[in-house]
Amino acid sequence: MNWSLFFDLTVSGLTLGSLYALIALGYSMVYGILKLLNFAHGDVYMIGAFVGWYTLHALGGPLNPTISGAAVLFVMFIVSMVACGVLGVAIERFAYRPLRNAPRIAPLISALGVSIFLQNSALLIFGAGFRDYGTFDLIGVKTFNIGQLFFSVTQLLTVVLAILLMIALTVFVARSRLGKAMRSTSFDREAASMMGIDVDRVISVTFFIGSALAGAAGVMFGLVFGQIYHFMGFIAGLKGFTAAVLGGIGSIPGAMVGGLIVGLAESYATGYLPQGSTFQNLYVFALLILVILIRPSGLFGKAAITKV
Amino acid sequence: MEEPPDSPRIGVDEWVASVEGKRERYTGIRGAVLQGWDRLPAPARVLVFAIPAALFPFVTSQGNVFRYGLFTLVYALLALGLNIVVGFAGLLDLGYVAFFGCGAYLYAILASPQFGYHWQAELAIPVVVLATAVVGLLVGLPSRRLLGDYLAILTLFFGQAFVVFVNNANRISFPFVGHVDLTGGSNGIANIDPFNFFGYKIDSTMKQYYLLLIAVALVLVLLMYMNESRTGRAWRALREDPLAAEVMSIPVNRLKLLAFVFGAAVAGLTGAIYGTIATAALPGDYDVGLLITIYAIMILGGFGSIMGIVVGAIIVSSVPELLRSSANARPLFYGAILIALLVKVRPWRLLAAQLAGLVAFGFAVHAIAAAAYPRLVDGESIGSGFLPRGLDHWMLFPKNPVKIVDVAYMVMIAAIVIYPQLGRLWRAVLLPPLLYLVMFVWENLLLVQIGGATRLILLGAVLVVLMNVRPQGLFGTATVEIV
């Protein structure tokens, strides 16, 4: 067995997996509370990537930034996360909140509408071409290694930052008052509102956090893969949702593990399976079907009991 | 679809609602018309649509029949098939376009120079429809265990997988048979034969139009009878409440599969017809864009409403045609805004005052800009005639508008998001500047891009607004809560 190929694939799989995990968290949290499949989530991620690009260029571009490289990165992440968070809250307020008591299919269609709207707005404003992040100019091409695992600095940054964000989220949900409110709202929205929890506020916060994570993932994508474009949200959103379903939708640790599994599976499929680089998405799809058929509630999900 | 546990709906009874509706609705002339409509048997109702459609080629030119007529009918047929799956059975199928593609590719394989087969249509069409139905069965099989959203994502993936597969199938070798160029890759399959029924070739646009019309009419009649049948009622029961349906000993799984199979069969038939019209099967034709169009038709028409879908198809295929030129797009856009204002802003005196304010605001802004930043008024509006030239003296048209207009677009979206949160007084005061901003973005950005992104942006916005205003679609029946 060619170990160096295996390690390379593992590293790129972990990087991809961190991105998918961050996207999946947004899907999973929203689904947990609203039982809504937020189709526009992938496009929020795309907007996040573009906000990062504009922030980078507002600060002087990758070649001669006005402040140090690390500070530029920090500002990019903060601006993109805040912008996406606000966007997510606005989407919820406009496209989903009025439909809370409508038939289940109505918010789904509305989400589809938001997705088309965002994608084509991006096409209108950012144009159809690729935008280059110029990561190498900004932070160089240093690599690290742990034994035979070779990381580029952006890959390391992505994985570490994603893990930090996930730890922060877990602590927030487990320990804080608002996190407790989120958990109880997700458990039973009506009962939560009877206990004096401001459900609307909790939902807004959920959208803010989920979208902010997607924004961070967008910037990470730009840093790792260099090029961003207006249609990138669609397939990434699909993968993120796959990850959420794999882990058990509504479960936060499930989304993280699911993201890593999807990322690694895609990476190994590219390297090892026949025609992998062409059909990697089909292999991920096959994995999804397999999991759904064997365990419809996902790896960490609890089987839903329908109450009458 | 599974109900959210916190929804207040206790029972939804379509039958009771329809009887209640009948008692109140049927008065006066409108009532007489509606009553007459309800009494018509299914084939007669189809004639109301079919006769004008049959006369359509005689009043228009050949090019229009091809572009507008054929596409309207193809859309209508596709939406009717989708309506079985989504509208009747309530299964959210986002891979539906792939069945359409399957139909086109299968027919292309059976009747084109790709493999040298040239099957007769009377043999090829049943084979294609059956094969597509089997694909529908295979995709539907996992659906037995899935809740609505999981099914949606699975079918969406199936649609994507189909596109990836036909794009690359020329490069893979299959087990047992080895390397076969099945789909022609990204070049697709060209030179598909026209339908050949026992030697009679459907080779002109006119013949294809009438063939499609016959297919649409047949499917319409079939669906109308099916809707009233035992199966149709069982589907609706399944859509409204799967659990209750199961308790009533309705075979839920079998009905779900049946809906999938029927929907796929209609899509396969449409695909075969579309293949002969386009004379080529190209992977790009079966992507998400078409799916969204078909969904827009079904949503506009109303879930589960059969004639509504035909109306929806006519609207969705004619609006983009109308929006193609700025001369039509401008009155449509301003008309829609005006109607929205008429509905939303009461009393009319306030509206009149605000429109006057808008005119005054425009002149003021134009005067200030002309004095301070002449660059902002150097450009010209699109089009010719009285209105565009008049706008030049009122609206800002920057010479090289790229950057400022992009910023204005984002500001506009932010403003529209914030506006409803304001108090009444602020809303009244800020309406004219907001309208001016919307018009500025429309004239300088959206109208310029009318052939490209704008139409889809408007479509997305319309979907969101429609779901907010009328979640059941234009012609759908509202479900009534009975507590």
pLDDT in tens, A63-113: 777 787 788 889 999 999 999 999 999 999 988 988 887 777 778 888 888
Domain range enclosing B102? 11-324
Judge whether residue B23 has pLDDT over 60.
Answer: no
Nearest to A238 among B2, B7, B156 (CB): B156
Distance, in Å, from the CA atom of B305 to the CA atom of A176, rounded to the nearest integer, reads 49
Residues B270, B203, single domain; the answer is: yes
The vertex-B271 CA angle with B268 and B274, nearest 5°, equals 155
Cβ–Cβ below 8 Å for A288 and B303: no
pLDDT band at B131 (very low <50, low <70, confident <90, very high): very high
Whether residues B227 and B340 share a domain: the answer is: no
Percent of chain B whose predicted confidence (pLDDT) is above 90: 13
The answer to whether position B301 is within a domain reads: yes
Residue B6 lies in a domain: no
Residue B479 lies in a domain: no
Query: Do B104 and B222 belong to one domain?
Result: yes
Judgement on whether residues B314 and B368 belong to the same structural domain of the protein: no
C-beta atoms surrounding B99 within 10 Å? 34
**Confidence at residue B7, expressed as pLDDT on a 0 to 100 scale:** 44
Quick check: is B478 in a domain? no
User: Cβ contact (<8 Å) for B86 and A105?
Assistant: yes
**In the predicted model, what is the mean pLDDT of residues B461-465?**
84
Interval B354-366 mean pLDDT: 90
Residue that wins the pLDDT comparison between B394 and B474: B394
Residue A66's pLDDT is what? 77
Query: CB-CB: which of A95, A105, A241 is closest to B92?
Result: A105
Strand bridging mode B481-482 / B11-12: antiparallel
pLDDT of residue A201: 93
Confidence check: pLDDT of B137 > 50: yes
Burial class (CB in 10 A: 0-12, 13-18, 19+), B421: exposed
d(CA A267, CA A272) in angstroms, rounded, equals: 9
Between B175 and B339, the more confident residue is B339
Looking at the structure, tell me whether residues B295 and B441 fall in a common domain: no
Pairing state of beta strands A131-132 and A227-228? antiparallel
Is B51 inside a domain boundary?
yes
- Shared domain for B75 and B159, answered yes or no, is yes
Residues A75/A55, Cβ–Cβ less than 8 Å: yes
Amino acid letter, A233: G
Domain that holds residue A89: 3-233
> Tokens 């950012």 — which residue?
A126
| B124/B263 same-domain check | yes
- Taking contacts as CB-CB distances below 8 angstroms, the residues of chain A near B3 are 104
In this structure, the number of other CB atoms found within 10 A of the CB of residue A117 comes to 24
* pLDDT, averaged across chain B: 81
Of residues B479 and B308, which shows the higher confidence score? B308
Inter-chain touch B460–A120, beta carbons under 8 Å: yes
DSSP labels, B4-19: PTT----EE-HHHHHH
Question: What pLDDT was estimated at residue B103?
Answer: 92
Q: Are A86 and B439 in contact (CB under 8 A)?
A: no
Read off the pLDDT band of B6 (50, 70, 90).
very low
- And the tokens for B300? 């506009």
Q: Which residues contact A302 (CB under 8 A, 6 or more apart)?
A: A248
User: Is residue B2's pLDDT more than 50?
Assistant: no
Q: Nearest by CB to B153, which of A95, A105, A245?
A: A245
Please indicate, yes or no, whether residues B270 and B179 belong to a single structural domain of this protein.
yes
**CATH code of B84's domain:** 1.10.3470
Residue A272 covered by a domain:
no
Is B92 within 8 Å of A108 when comparing Cβ atoms? yes
- Of residues B215 and B379, the one with the higher pLDDT is B215
pLDDT above 80 (res B152): no
Residue B482 has pLDDT above 50, yes or no: no
Among A7-21, B53-67, B409-423, B452-466, which stretch is predicted with the lowest mean pLDDT?
Answer: B53-67
Determine how many CB atoms are found less than 10 A away from the CB of residue B385: 8
Is there a domain that residue B271 lies in? yes
Nearest residue of B to residue A108, measured between CA atoms:
B149
Cα–Cα distance, A235 to B88 (Å, whole number): 29
Q: pLDDT tens digit string along A139-160?
A: 766 777 777 777 888 888 889 9
What separation in angstroms does the CA of A43 have from each of A77, A115, A129, B465?
A: 17, 6, 17, 19
Mean pLDDT of B63-76: 82
More confident residue, A92 or B315: A92
Q: What is the pLDDT of residue B3?
A: 45
Do the Cβ atoms of B208 and B202 come closer than 8 Å? yes
Nearest-by-Cβ selection for B150 from A279, A292, A308: A292
A279 contacts in B (CB within 8 Å)?
164, 168
Q: In the prediction, which pLDDT does A264 show? A: 93
Q: Number of folded domains in chain B?
A: 2
Among chain A residues, the shortest Cα distance to B12 is held by: A103
Residues B394 and B311 in one domain: no
- Whole-angstrom Cα distance, residue A262 to residue A283? 10
Does the residue B444 lie in any domain?
A: yes
Name the minimum distance, in Å, from the CA of B52 to any CA of chain A: 32
Test A106 with B467 for CB contact under 8 angstroms. Answer: yes
Helix (H) or strand (E) holding A27: helix A3-34
Chain A nearest-CA distance from B467, in A, is 6
Do the Cβ atoms of B457 and A121 come within 8 Å?
Answer: yes
Residue B146: per-residue pLDDT: 66
Separation CA B326–CA B332 (nearest Å) = 10
Q: Say yes or no: B147 and B252 in one domain.
A: yes
Instruction: With CB atoms and an 8 Å threshold, state whether A296 touches B145.
Output: yes
Q: Do A285 and B160 touch (CB under 8 A)?
A: yes
Mind giving me the DSSP string for B157-187? HHHHHHHHHHHHGGG-EETTTEE---S-GGG
Q: Which whole number is the average pLDDT over B411-425?
A: 88
ipTM of the complex: 0.80
Spatial separation of the C-alpha atoms in residues B181 and B170, rounded to whole Å? 4
Q: Write down the number of H helices and E strands in chain A.
A: 12, 4
> Do A19 and A236 contact (CB within 8 A), yes or no?
yes
Q: Report the C-alpha gap between A50 and B410 in whole angstroms.
A: 13
**pLDDT of A82:** 96
Chain B nearest-CA residue for A107 = B467
- Label residues A265-286 b or e (16+ Cβ within 10 Å = b): bbbbbbbeeeebeebbbbbbbe
- In chain A, which residues have their Cβ closer than 8 Å to the Cβ of B179? none
Q: Look at residue B324 and tell me whether its pLDDT is greater than 80.
A: no
pLDDT (average), residues B57-85: 84
* DSSP secondary structure letter of residue B200: E
Cα→Cα distances B363→B367, B369, B370, B401, Å: 6, 10, 10, 20
User: What is chain B's Cα-based Rg?
Assistant: 26
Most confident of A64-73, B194-203, B419-428: B419-428
Question: Strand, helix or coil at A67?
Answer: coil
CB of B44 closer than 8 Å to CB of B217: no
Number of domains in chain A: 1
Q: Which of A31, A115, A306 sits opposite B2 (nearest CB)?
A: A306
A273 in a domain, yes or no?
no
**Is A256 inside a domain boundary?**
no
Lowest mean pLDDT among A91-95, B289-293, B358-362: B289-293
| CA-closest candidate to residue B184, choices B321, B284, B85, B252 | B284
Residue of chain A whose alpha carbon sits nearest to that of B141 = A293
Judge whether B142 lies within some domain: yes
Task: Point out the residues of chain A with pLDDT beneath 50.
Answer: none
Are residues B339 and B297 part of one domain? no
pLDDT of residue A180: 92
With 0.95 as the threshold, say if the pTM is over it: no
* Whole-number Å distance between alpha carbons of A161 and B324: 47
Whether A37 sits inside 8 A of B149 (CB atoms) is: yes
* List of chain A residues whose C-beta atoms are within 8 Å of the C-beta of residue B446: 124
B95/B401: higher pLDDT: B95
Cβ contact (<8 Å) for B171 and A106?
A: no
Q: Is A180 within the bounds of a domain?
A: yes
pLDDT of residue B18 exceeding 70: no
Same domain, B93 and B231: yes
Q: What is the pLDDT of residue A186?
A: 87
| Alpha helix ranges (H) inside B93-120 | 96-110
Nearest to B463 among A31, A112, A285 (CB): A112
